[in-house]
């Protein structure tokens, strides 16, 4: 039930599945968990843009893309050259976001969170799965104490509190076992800087983290969400104080106060949602399995289903300055949705599995498990050589 496909699992199925969960190992020393601590290997400029890349962040004068084996690459405005950053981890990176042209965050598997203060040239590891396990142990210990106290004081005629107590003990045992035996395994699937300056991160099994001091310290606030099944949290969309989390099996959550409080919003359908974004009219767009797309004017209280010709899983999207939505996904699918909600389906000749799309320096740049592509597709020999495309 709780192992249905996640955003990253679908994006990289069959290619990077070995990244999904840590192999069992002796973790008596954290340094033995090499993938977290080994720096990303340096590669040629041709190879860094052909390795799997998942997500992008656009600065005023730079584009940053992140992906497999800790690969982070940058391209400056009016330049066709991609450069590889110095990164102190080799995990699969799933997300990246910047609060300014200098300060940004990236996150990925094994609970790793990175920070840059120089626009993405160099990165520091500020959090990892061992830190997450420490937070989980403390969280469930406190949860158990609160439930035991409430049961003793008020009784539990319905048995609901005892059920919750048993769950908390189960999760505590899992976290303790992971610290001692198997090591961290939960991926962070998205990270965003909120309007109030907080940094929010979401991930597998209802993982919800927040930092209120630019990543120096993190709190586990998963208890703020009504998610008893522990469904995965796949993506974050923000606009001002409005925050939306898209999740597995149709789960979704909304906050109107910058993440201080959360409410569950009725899912538009029972399938998983992999991406979400706000357009320039303040409308929320969310999308997921088999071409399903929904738009909402009230932060997910009510949705309008978009009649999409696509049957592929949809991963990410954005709104351009003309009010057109661009949404990308598997099998080279690129959807163009006009302000009047007319949908045109394009297919990239690569048929690549796209993870993200952004407009930069007058062209649309796509990340995929085959690296960087562009739309419209580059077809001439000179374009191919210049951009490193096949």
Question: What SS3 state is found at 19?
Answer: helix
Per-residue pLDDT of 4-24, as tens digits, reads: 334 444 444 333 332 232 333
CB atoms within 10 A of CB 343: 17
Residue 227 has which token pair? 């998610």
Which pLDDT belongs to residue 59?
Answer: 97
Using the predicted structure, report yes or no on whether residue 113 has a pLDDT greater than 90.
yes
Distance of CA 174 to the CA centre of its chain: 24
| 38, pLDDT greater than 50 | yes
Does residue 131 carry a pLDDT above 50?
A: yes
Instruction: Provide the pLDDT confidence category of residue 31 given band limits of 50, 70 and 90.
Output: low
Confidence of residue 273 (pLDDT cuts 50, 70, 90): very high
CA distance 300 to 32: 44
Backbone dihedral region for residue 256 (phi beyond 0: left; psi -120 to 50: alpha; all else: beta): alpha
Q: What is the mean pLDDT of residues 129-143?
A: 97
Among 368, 113, 366, 369, CA closest to 378 = 366
Label residue 255 by pLDDT band (50, 70, 90).
very high
Q: Which residue has the higher pLDDT, 109 or 10?
A: 109
Of 319, 256, 327, the closest CA to residue 283 belongs to: 319
* Contact status, residue 247 vs residue 282, Cβ threshold 8 Å: no
Distance CA 204, CA 192 (A): 16
Helix (H, G, I), strand (E, B) or coil at 371: strand
CA–CA separation, 73 vs 268, rounded Å?
Answer: 36
Please name which of 123, 83, 87, 86 lies closest in space to residue 102, comparing C-alpha atoms: 123
The answer as to CATH 2.130.10.10 being correct for domain 7-126+186-387 is: yes
First to last CA, the chain: 39
Task: Find, among 283, 210, 191, 206, the residue nearest to 247 by Cα.
Answer: 206
Q: Is residue 30 pLDDT above 90, yes or no? A: no
The pLDDT assigned to 85 comes to 98
The tens digit of pLDDT for each residue in 363-386 reads: 999 999 999 999 999 864 334 434
State the pLDDT at residue 107: 98
Segment 97-126 shows an average pLDDT of 98
Q: What is the pLDDT of residues 323-345, one digit of tens each?
A: 999 999 999 999 999 999 999 99
Query: Residue 308 and residue 292: Cα distance in Å, rounded?
Result: 7
Phi, psi of 208 (to 5 degrees): -135, 115
Find out whether 103 and 214 touch, Cβ atoms under 8 Å: yes
Task: Locate the domains of the chain by residue range.
Answer: 7-126+186-387, 134-181
Mean pLDDT of the chain: 89
Q: How confident is the model at residue 301 (pLDDT cuts 50, 70, 90)?
A: very high
- Asked if 94 contacts 107 with a C-beta cutoff of 8 angstroms, the reply is yes
**What is the rounded average pLDDT of the residues 83-110?**
98
Q: Which range has the worst mean pLDDT, 221-235, 268-282, 375-389?
A: 375-389
Q: What is the 3-state secondary structure (H, E, C) of 251-298?
A: CEEEECCCCCCCEECCCCCCCCEEEEEECCCCCEEEEEHHHCEEEECC
Q: What is the pLDDT of residue 19?
A: 28
Tens of pLDDT, residues 140-171: 999 999 999 999 998 877 888 999 999 999 99
What local confidence, expressed as pLDDT, does residue 379 receive? 61
């Amino acid at each position: 039930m709780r192992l249905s496909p996640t955003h990253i699992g679908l994006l990289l199925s069959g290619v990077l599945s070995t990244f999904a969960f840590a192999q069992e190992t002796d973790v008596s020393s954290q340094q033995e968990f090499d993938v977290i601590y080994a720096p990303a290997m340096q590669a040629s400029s041709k190879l860094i843009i052909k390795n799997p890349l998942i997500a992008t962040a656009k600065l005023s004068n730079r584009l940053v893309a992140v992906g497999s084996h800790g690969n982070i690459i940058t391209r400056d405005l009016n330049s066709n050259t991609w450069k590889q950053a110095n990164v102190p981890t080799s995990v699969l990176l799933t997300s990246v976001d910047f609060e300014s042209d200098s300060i940004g965050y990236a996150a990925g598997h094994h609970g790793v969170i990175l920070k840059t203060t120089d626009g993405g040239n160099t990165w520091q590891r500020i959090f990892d799965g061992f830190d997450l396990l420490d937070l989980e142990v403390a969280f469930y210990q406190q949860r158990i104490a609160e439930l035991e106290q409430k049961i003793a004081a008020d009784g539990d005629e319905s048995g609901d509190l005892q059920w919750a107590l048993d769950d908390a003990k189960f999760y505590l045992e899992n976290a303790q076992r992971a610290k001692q035996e198997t090591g961290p395994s939960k991926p962070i699937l998205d990270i965003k800087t909120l309007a109030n300056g907080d940094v929010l991160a979401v991930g597998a099994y209802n993982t919800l983290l927040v930092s209120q001091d630019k990543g120096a310290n993190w709190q586990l606030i998963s208890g703020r969400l009504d998610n008893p099944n522990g469904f995965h949290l796949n993506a974050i969309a923000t606009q001002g104080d409005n925050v939306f989390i898209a999740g597995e099996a149709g789960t979704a959550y909304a906050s109107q106060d910058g993440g201080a409080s959360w409410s569950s919003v009725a899912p538009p359908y029972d399938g998983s949602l992999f991406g979400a974004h706000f357009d320039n009219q303040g409308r929320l767009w969310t999308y997921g399995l088999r071409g399903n797309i929904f738009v909402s004017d009230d932060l997910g209280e009510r949705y309008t289903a978009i009649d999409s010709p696509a049957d592929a899983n949809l991963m990410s999207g954005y709104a351009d300055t003309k009010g057109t939505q661009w949404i990308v996904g598997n099998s080279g699918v690129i959807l163009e949705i006009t302000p009047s909600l007319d949908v045109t389906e394009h297919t990239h000749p690569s048929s690549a599995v796209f993870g993200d799309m952004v407009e930069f320096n007058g062209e649309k740049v796509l990340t995929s498990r085959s690296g960087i592509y562009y739309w419209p597709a580059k077809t001439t020999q000179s374009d191919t050589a210049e951009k490193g495309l096949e």
